[in-house]
Chains A and B, each alone.
Chain A
Amino acid sequence: MAKDSLPASKGLERLVEALRVLPGVGPRSAQRMAYHLLQHDRAGADQLAQALAGALSTVRRCARCHNFTEEEVCALCRSPRRDASLLCVVETPADLAVVEQTLSYSGMYFVLMGRLSPLDGVGARDIGLDRLLARATDGEVQEVILATNFTNEGEATAHYIAEMLRARDIKVSRIARGVPLGGELEYVDAGTISQALLDRRNI
């Protein structure tokens, strides 16, 4: 970016700098956003500022599932209609939302807010495994379902959670993987098919 295109005011400069905390936003797009907000959408900017300040002061992590909520314990965790004997472990709130969309799971959740990533130095404490352990051994949970991603990091996370829980006599299962529903083999990638062959089952 050329020097002369830098914002001229201190406030604008601070806004551009602040917008760069967003993932994938570099100096150029941050500047574009800042100009847009100040020039064309000052009402939107005000809304954004208030929503952000509001969320920061009210949204926190649910004491039981670690998902975002405005209460001590979220609505899902308090619901009497959920099966409290099942605990599904997911990496992110987005993963939780996807499992909910299936309408085929009615148990509880634990959101790790990440995964083990040994090469990045992300370990057990960073994803709250100690708190997961406490939650899974509270006496209510009968089975823990591991729904972490099928990446190497997701697999490592599932492996360590499984070891940790098996050592305490808690039933652990892992969601299955393979060819997608409606998938035609010809169009499925080789890695998936190779894994589906390894994970084949008797019928």
Chain B
Amino acid sequence: MKRRAEHEAGYVLHTYPYKETSLIVEAFTRRFGRVAMLARGARRPRSAMRGVLLSFHPLRLSWSAPAELGNLISAEWSGGLRPLAGRGLMCGFYVNELVLRLLPRDDPHEVLFDSYGETLSRLAGDGPFASVLRGFEKRLLAELGYAPLLDRDAASGAPIDPEARYVYEPDRGPMPVRNSHSNDLLVSGRTLLDVAADDYARPETRDEARTLLRALIGERLHGQVLHTRTVLKELNDL
């Protein structure tokens, strides 16, 4: 497949050094999805791309793609977003890792792309960021075809009772609690309805939603460990 993309809206997800002076750039673009490109000479001291190929900034990218690894031709700053800092920056790394690990290459996801941009602009704000992260995780799962069932009992199809508790089976959805096991994912009906409505005002909802979405994301990671989580945990232990 031969193609050339010009001035496409995109973000850098991560870069890896390649040979002495180049970079492999993992980018998330609006119209082409996640793409990998080679930025030749981008690590030279006077490279025009040096200060531009940074994560969390909207860019305009041009590249040619003779094979699976494209050649980055230009990257232009397209501005309009405050830089992430502090905790918001750490959350940004986590969001990027989710996209890198879960989104297949060369598969456009425009809705997710827009939601990603929205997520970054909220992470550039003051927080709290729990609702921002849960919202993005939910959208990502939905875009991958694994939208969590939140408003109905997966066994009977009955509406979720806010006063009841459920066992959440990752590949089915919420089930009534019967003889529960210690490793069951227990979640209250209220939390399920809150998550469905993107309402994270209740502290209990925030706690349960974090555990729930973490388990659902975990299903899709097939045993891969998220580096950002490990690093963050270690920092919090200092």
Contact across chains for B14 and A119 when beta carbons are under 8 A apart = yes
Knowing A152-B84, A152-B89, A160-B235, the reply to whether A119 touches B51 (Cβ < 8 A) is: no
Given the contacts A24-B20, A118-B97, A121-B230, A152 and B56 also touching, CB distance less than 8 Å: yes
Determine if B21 and A24 form an interchain contact, defined as CB atoms under 8 angstroms apart: yes
Give complex CA distance A24, B43 in Å. Answer: 12
> Does A155 contact B231, Cβ atoms closer than 8 Å?
no
Complex Cα distance, B142 from A44, in Å, reads 62
Query: Of B77, B89, B235, B238, which one neighbours A155 at CB under 8 angstroms?
Result: B89
Query: Once the chains are docked, how many angstroms separate the CA of A121 from the CA of B230?
Result: 7
List chain A residues, Cβ under 8 A from B100.
Answer: 119
The minimal Cβ–Cβ distance linking B46 to chain A, given in whole angstroms, is 12
Question: What does DSSP make chain A's interface, helix, strand, loop or mixed?
Answer: helix
- Does A198 reach chain B (CB closer than 8 Å)? yes
Distance (whole angstroms) from the CB of A129 to the closest CB of chain B: 6
Q: Which residues of B contact A192 (CB under 8 A)?
A: 51
| Interface size of B in residues (CB-CB distance below 8 Å) | 36
Query: How many angstroms from the CA of A160 to the CA of B234 in the assembled complex?
Result: 11
A28 to B55 Cα, complex, angstroms = 33
Nearest CB in chain A: distance from B78 CB, A: 9
Chain B residues within 8 Å of A4, by CB: none
Contact with A along B57-97 (1 / 0, CB 8 A): 10000000000000000000101001111110110111011
In the complex, number of A-B residue pairs with CB atoms less than 8 Å apart: 80
Contact of A191 among B52, B89, B96 (CB under 8 A): B52
Residues 2-34 of B contacting A (Cβ, < 8 Å): 14, 17, 19-21
Measured CA separation A125–B230 after assembly (Å)? 12
> Contacts A121-B227, A191-B57; is A156 near B89 (CB within 8 Å)?
yes
How far is B51's CA from A192's CA once the two chains are assembled, in angstroms?
8
A202 and B56 CA atoms in complex are apart in Å by 28
Whether A119 and B228, one on each chain, are in contact in the complex, defined by CB atoms closer than 8 angstroms, is: yes
Is A159 an interface position by the 8 A CB rule?
yes
| Cβ–Cβ < 8 Å partners of B217 in chain A | none
C-alpha gap A125/B238 in the complex (Å): 9
Task: Known A152-B84, A159-B85, A189-B51; judge A133-B232 contact (CB<8 A).
Answer: no
Does B54 interact with chain A (Cβ within 8 Å)?
Answer: yes
Minimum C-beta distance from B221 to chain A (A): 15
Complex-state Cα separation, A120 to B13, whole angstroms: 12
Contact A189 to B52, CB < 8 A, known contacts A119-B100, A159-B86: yes
A121 vs B93: C-alpha distance in the bound complex, in angstroms? 11
CA–CA, A198 and B57, complex, Å: 15
Contact B93 A119 (CB under 8 A): yes
Partner-A contacts on B (CB < 8 A): 14, 17, 19-21, 48, 51-52, 54-57, 77, 79, 82-87, 89-90, 92-94, 96-97, 100, 227-228, 230-232, 234-235, 238
Question: Which residues of A are interface residues toward B (Cβ below 8 A)?
Answer: 23-24, 26, 116, 118-125, 129-130, 133, 151-152, 155-156, 159-160, 164, 189-192, 194-195, 198
23 A-B residue contacts at CB 8 Å? A24-B20, A116-B235, A118-B90, A118-B97, A118-B227, A118-B232, A119-B97, A119-B227, A122-B231, A123-B231, A123-B235, A124-B238, A125-B234, A151-B54, A152-B93, A156-B89, A156-B90, A159-B85, A164-B238, A189-B51, A189-B77, A191-B51, A191-B77
What would 4 more interface pairs be, CB under 8 Å, given A118-B227, A155-B85? A118-B232, A119-B228, A156-B93, A191-B51
